[in-house]
Amino acid sequence: MMNIAFIAHDRKKDDIVNFVIAYEHVFKDKKLYSTGTTGLRIMENTSLQIQRFLSGPLGGDQQIGSLIAQNEMDLVIFLRDPLLAQPHEPDITALLRLCDVHGIPVATNMATAEILVRALDRGDFGWRELLEQHKPGLS
Q: From the candidates 10, 15, 29, 61, which is the catalytic residue?
A: 61
Per-residue pLDDT tens for 19-41?
Answer: 999 999 999 999 999 999 999 99
Q: What is the pTM of this model?
A: 0.91
What is the reported pLDDT for 36? Answer: 95
**55 labeled part of a ligand binding site:** yes
Report whether 88 belongs to an annotated binding site.
yes
**How far, in Å, CA of 139 to CA of 135, rounded?**
12
For domain 3-133, which CATH number applies: 3.40.50.2300, 3.40.50.1380, 3.40.50.720, 3.20.10.10? 3.40.50.1380
* pLDDT reading at 139 higher than 50: no
91 is catalytic: no
36 annotated among ligand-binding-site residues: yes
For 6, list phi and psi in degrees, rounded to 5: -115, 130
Q: Write the DSSP symbol of residue 78.
A: E
